[in-house]
């Protein structure tokens, strides 16, 4: 079966206090969401609706917000800082972003992106009478590889990791690749239609087999004790 990824259009600029789940429900109607679909929502609209915004008039203000938002710092080089966020994610600048916000403001990560995903999921499920998964995404750099990709920072209605342990391969041997980060693959796939400069804040993905369940995006964080690259 093929997978289809649809941009969710027509949401416009989101302001603090906006009812994002309601905005998403209206924007989803033309796409006829169905059981098992995956709704991917970019972090920026979630943060804006939740008021996760700070003022930062200068570069120094921005740096201060980054330091305040970071739970720990892994590396520094010049103005760049690789941080651990309060949720435990590793990313640049504690996820504090200056793009697509009014001058003098910066957007923080949502306090609890799993909970944000959960609220959106419940509203969409109730409205359309279906069961879906919701992923909140942000754009992160990686060790070793150039360029950024979207990853999951919040999930609801799914397990973010597809566990294939015990699955036989085509020759009847056990698979070596046993844990697929399917929520991150869905996040990356959605980025193909959301785009950074397009103003499209969400995507609906149809046709994916994913493990349903009560997962958390923090399940995607490698435990620091077994992480060789901290």
**Contact residues for a second copy (CB under 8 A)?**
1-7, 13, 74-75, 77, 82, 89-90, 97-103, 139, 142-151, 160-162, 164, 167-171, 173-177, 179-182, 184-186, 188-189, 191-193, 196-197, 199, 208, 219-222, 227-230
- Shortest reach from residue 190's CB to a second copy, in Å: 9
Of 125 and 185, CB closest to a second copy = 185
Candidates 217, 71, 230, 85; CA nearest to 143 is 230
Q: How far is CA 26 from CA 8, 10, 123, 212, in A?
A: 10, 9, 11, 25
- Shortest reach from residue 126's CB to a second copy, in Å: 25
Of 129 and 143, CB closest to a second copy = 143
Which residues, 6 or more positions from 141, have their beta carbon under 8 angstroms from its beta carbon? Answer: 91, 92, 147, 148
Of 129 and 171, CB closest to a second copy = 171
Structure tokens at 223: 């435990």
- Shortest reach from residue 28's CB to a second copy, in Å: 14
How far is it, in rounded angstroms, from Cα 182 to Cα 151? 10
Of 1 and 60, CB closest to a second copy = 1
- Shortest reach from residue 103's CB to a second copy, in Å: 7
Length of the chain (residues): 230
How far is it, in rounded angstroms, from Cα 116 to Cα 185? 20
- Alpha-carbon torsion 202, 207, 209, 214, what sign? positive
- To the nearest 10°, the Cα dihedral for 99, 50, 46, 227? 90
- Shortest reach from residue 213's CB to a second copy, in Å: 15
Structure tokens at 119: 């609220």
Q: Say if CB 156 and CB 131 are below 8 A apart.
A: no
- Shortest reach from residue 41's CB to a second copy, in Å: 17
Of 60 and 229, CB closest to a second copy = 229
Of 22 and 73, CB closest to a second copy = 73
- Tokens 């060789």 correspond to what residue? 228
């Amino acid at each position: 079966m093929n997978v289809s990824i649809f941009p969710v259009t027509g949401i416009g600029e989101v302001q603090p206090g906006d009812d994002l789940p309601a905005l998403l429900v209206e924007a989803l109607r033309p796409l006829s969401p169905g059981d098992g679909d995956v709704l991917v929502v970019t972090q920026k609209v979630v943060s804006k609706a939740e008021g996760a915004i700070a003022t930062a008039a200068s570069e120094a203000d921005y740096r201060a917000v980054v330091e305040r938002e970071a739970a720990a710092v892994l590396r520094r080089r010049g103005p760049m800082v690789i941080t651990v966020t309060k949720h435990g994610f590793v990313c640049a600048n504690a996820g504090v972003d200056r793009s697509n916000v009014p001058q003098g403001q910066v957007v923080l990560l949502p306090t609890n992106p799993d909970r944000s995903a959960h609220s959106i999921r419940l509203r969409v499920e109730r409205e359309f009478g279906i069961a879906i998964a919701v992923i909140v995404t942000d754009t992160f750099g990686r060790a070793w590889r150039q360029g950024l990709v979207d990853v999951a920072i919040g999930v609801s209605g799914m397990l973010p990791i597809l566990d294939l342990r015990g699955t036989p391969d085509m020759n009847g041997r056990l698979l070596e690749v046993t844990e697929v980060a399917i929520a991150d693959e869905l996040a990356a796939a959605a980025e193909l239609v959301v785009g950074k400069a397009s103003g499209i804040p969400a995507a609906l993905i149809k046709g994916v087999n994913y493990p349903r369940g009560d997962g958390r995006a923090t399940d995607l964080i490698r435990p620091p004790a077994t992480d060789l690259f901290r």
